A and B are shown apart, each in its own frame.
Chain A
Amino acid sequence: MKDDLNIVGKRVVRSDSLAKVTGEARYTADLTFPGMLVAKVLRSPYPHAKIVGIDVSKALKVPGVKAAVSGFDSYGVKWGVFRYTQDHAMLHTDKVRYIGEDVAAVAAVDEETAMEALSRIKVDYEPLPAVFDPFESMKDGAPQIHEQYKNNINIHINIDVGEVDRAMEKAYLVREDTFKAAGEAYAMMEPYAVVASFKNGYLDLYMPNAGPHVRAKALSNMLKLPLNRVRIRHINSGGAFGGRSEVAPGDLVASLLAIKSGRPVKLVLSREENATSSRQVHDIIATIKTGMKKDGTILAKDYKVIYDGGAYSSTGPIATSIPFYVYEECYRFPNVRYNGYRVFTNKGIRGMYGCHGRAFLAGNEAQMDVMAKELGLDPVDVRLKNGLKSGEMTATKSKITSCGLKETIMTASEKTNFRKRWAKPSRLKGVGMGCVAIMCGFPMGFRSGSSCYVKINDDGQVTLVTGLVDNGQGNESMVIQVASEVLGVPMADINLVNADTEVTNLDPGAYSQAAAFVGANAVRVACENAREKIVAIAAEKLKVKVKDVGLKDGSAYSLKNPDKKMPISWVVREAFFRGEPITGTGSFFPNIDFEREWVTRPWGQMAGTFSFGTSIAEVNIDGETGKITMPRFTSAHDCGRAINPMAVEGQMEGSIQQAGVAAITEGNLWDGGYLLNPNLLEYKVPLACDMPDMDTIIVSSRDPAGPFGAKEGGLTVRMNAYSAVACAVANATGELFSELPLTPDRVMKMLERKKGVKG
């Protein structure tokens, strides 16, 4: 691979940042259209109740109200990512299953009128017994939340490789621990918002989303409209973190109101509604049994993991599997058994999260350190010994094609003097290490690939068209940078038209870590396609061989004699004369085993490639209060190649905040079905003053299939930072954690447990 790159690998200013620093960037709530109405949603006050009747007639009589809807105005089509998980109608007519569930909605000329109308809607409920704890929920006789799921078990994933029981018997050291973690809030800064309008049978929608194409498909099913009559348009997204991956109840509500009223409708949720009634994160209880040889080799793993799934299936099978996979993609498990149960409770709808699975992942890593200590081994050596290498297969038969795990472990530990400090922790100070691997895109059938169309305009400027979406991580700028590299045109001369379902083609979206490896790859292929056409004409005109033509700064030139050159715009005009405009199309479809199925066939190639990462946290504990402070945090991440190192660092730093510091501060608190901390005063998103000094290290493994060698950038930190914190606290206290977040009261209990053992 040629390495003399002009722009890929450079710390470039992101293409989207000018609009964002001037306040010009438009987000959904910023939109206004003539005649636009304000929508408000009536929500369930009960965690579980039968709906006897909904009467919106009095609401419709309020002057200024233009439409009122309930589930009786929809087709009742139930959404689910898989055929066997279709259980969420978004507006139900039979019963409500969580506090805050959408029941009815109005659209009116202003907010006051809409609120007045909401108070006139009459809903007759018959309250039902509710269940909030997944263990209670699985018991015989527990309230049944959905008829079709026995014992409220939504999904059971069973993976069984090798002979776990025999291997456990042979192991020198066996340990079993249970770890819990509260679900976090996505707390993306932009609360859920949507603007819908319906004209001539065509539905038009703006909302922050992580995958417009899959969203349009869901809405086309629910509204019984052909796909080309549901248009999801491009708009900036104020963060997603997994919370905007799926179709939302508000999408359907706003669409129905727009269809009924014939006017544009805007629905913006409050911060509290965003927490209770958009997606939530799973609470997890993970029981982890590990068998190790005397030399630290992992012989067997036996897992039982319970996911509190809330009221509906959502991404059920995926959410129940991902924590396991990102771990088995990191380490060699000759024998492994995984039983993951996703259990319904009367709590909000739950989806995937960028940091999904912290009880499981932090539990595994912290337990590994305790076992290493018992065996007199160094945790760095144990990780290196068990870590997968390029060319190896995971337990469930995914091949690793590029792997910088070892380099991430070595650089991070050397930079922090980890081995020495871990072996001799000073009082109440500790260091901890967490490792993980991330699949770059997971199987989504024919939606797993991405396509791009590029045209070069007659002034030499470029228009890129792709379904790729950006939720703030910089995907848009990334593909402009890739196109700039291939076409030799400055980034400023490239315009991106993206994430608009009537213009762009399928793309896996920005929630499976596929944007760099899949989306940017499609852009690269399309631009290479256009480049060939440019070069052919330029070679002819410059009278040089095709292989001797270079493209740079908007010109085609002779590599042997750079003074011999012509603007690309001339080439483009010549192409128009020939009736063959310079356009390019390109697709990228990752090498995935599509026989793979999350429940029935959980093996085969999971993704085209995997990224790797190691984080190291340094913590100090206040022995009087149990408060943890974190002076430094170091992360090393193998992202193949950083297309924009500044953007990758930003992802890593954000992940240290959202997974690392969050391991101390963040967790949803419940009283039965009531979410106690739905706002940003009581839910503690880490602030600037909470942050450690951060050292981010980018490791390049140059993936053979990635665009310029790139893989996903940053997510490993999102899934290993809490492990590093949990391990550091174990190192400082000599005790394993039992529950995240590591609030002062829990840390005090750990310290007391330690004292108890000594005494």
Chain B
Amino acid sequence: MKTIKVSFNINNEDVALDVRPYETLLETLRERLFLTGAKEACGLGACGACTVVVNGIPLRSCLVLTPEVEGATITTVEGLREDGKLHPLQETFMEKGAVQCGFCTSGMIMTAKALLDRKKKPTKKEIVTTISSNICRCTGYKKIVEAVEEAAKRMATA
């Protein structure tokens, strides 16, 4: 089968791969790189469970073809820890009880991370609007919003 060479930086590591032309980034992450934090829940971009940050932008990796991310810098939930220390969002999701079944959690955290990276002090409304791109079936979102608010505070004072 014809393959395409693609290289990118993921979680601070350079990788070079031969992928199928129609391979999605989600498939590459999960099946080639064993980064299974991003989940497939809908396969058509409706739910956000597969969200990863590509060049600072939260993308649904089920809708991205891997050959498209040539040269990109990608962060997945597995790459959030720095020197073994949890990202503030990871801490606050735990502390605020924002995690139940956990299947949406990776995507939710990555969506929130992209928001906090581009906006230091988002309003509650901005947080609600932003995470409305992701579906959670368990929590009713209240504790997720609280977790993002708290993480924003911590990041502002850090």
A contacts, CB < 8 Å to B = 11, 13-14, 16-27, 29-30, 32, 187-191, 236-239, 241, 268, 270-271, 471-474, 646-647, 649-650, 652-658, 679-681, 685, 687-691, 694
Contacts and interface: CB of A to CB of B under 8 A. Distances in A.
A690 B132 CA distance: 9
A239 B101 contact: yes
Main secondary structure of the interface of B (DSSP, over half): loop
Contact of B142 (A20, A679, A691): A691
Given A237-B101, A694-B140, A21 B42 contact: no
A654 B144 CA distance: 11
Contacts of B77: 21-23
Contacts of A655: 140
Contact of B131 (A17, A20, A680, A688): A688
- Residue of A655, A679, A687, A688 with most chain B CB atoms under a 10 A cut-off: A688
A23 B106 contact: yes
A657 B140 contact: yes
A187 B49 CA distance: 13
- Residue of B37, B94, B137 with most chain A CB atoms under a 10 A cut-off: B137
- Residue of B37, B135, B142 with most chain A CB atoms under a 10 A cut-off: B142
B122 interface: no
Contacts of B86: 21-22
B94 A17 contact: yes
A30 B30 contact: yes
A653 B139 contact: yes
Contact of B141 (A18, A23, A646, A688): A688
B76 interface: yes
A653 B143 contact: yes
A492 to B, nearest CB: 13
A189 B97 contact: no
Contacts of B38: 23
A270 B41 contact: no
Contacts of A691: 140-142
B20 to A, nearest CB: 9
A348 to B, nearest CB: 19
A26 B36 contact: yes
B30 to A, nearest CB: 7
B45 to A, nearest CB: 8
A271 B99 contact: no
A14 B43 contact: no
A241 B100 CA distance: 12
Interface in B25-51: 30, 34-44, 46-47, 49
Contact of A685 (B81, B109, B137): B137
28 contacts: A17-B99, A20-B102, A21-B77, A21-B90, A21-B109, A22-B78, A23-B76, A29-B40, A30-B30, A30-B36, A189-B41, A189-B49, A189-B135, A189-B138, A237-B101, A238-B39, A241-B137, A271-B41, A271-B43, A472-B101, A472-B102, A474-B100, A646-B97, A650-B138, A650-B143, A653-B139, A653-B143, A694-B140
Contacts of A471: 101
Given A25-B102, A189-B49, 16 more contacts: A14-B97, A21-B77, A21-B90, A22-B80, A23-B76, A26-B36, A27-B36, A29-B39, A189-B39, A189-B138, A190-B101, A473-B100, A650-B100, A680-B41, A681-B42, A687-B141
B128 interface: yes
B105 interface: yes
Contacts of B131: 688
Contact of A681 (B39, B44, B94, B129): B44
A17 B47 contact: no
A22 B87 CA distance: 9
Interface of B: 30, 34-44, 46-47, 49, 76-78, 80-81, 86, 89-90, 93-97, 99-106, 109, 128-129, 131-132, 135-145
A689 B127 CA distance: 10
A187 B137 contact: yes
Contact of B99 (A14, A189, A681): A14
Contacts of B42: 271, 679-681
A22 B101 contact: no
Nearest to B109: A21
A239 B103 CA distance: 8
A290 B63 CA distance: 53
A638 B65 CA distance: 50
A473 B141 CA distance: 14
A23 B132 contact: no
In the A-B complex, list the 10 residue pairs whose CB atoms are closest, starting with the nearest. A23-B37, A472-B101, A238-B103, A653-B140, A20-B102, A189-B103, A30-B36, A23-B77, A680-B46, A646-B97
Given A271-B41, A680-B41, A680-B135, A238 B101 contact: yes
Nearest to B76: A23
Contacts of A22: 37, 77-78, 80-81, 86, 90
Given A190-B101, A237-B101, A23 B137 contact: no
Contact of B138 (A13, A30, A472): A472
Contacts of A694: 140, 142
B104 A189 contact: yes
A167 B49 CA distance: 55
Contact of A650 (B135, B139, B145): B139
Given A238-B102, A679-B46, A688-B131, A654 B139 contact: yes
Contacts of A14: 94, 97, 99
B28 to A, nearest CB: 14
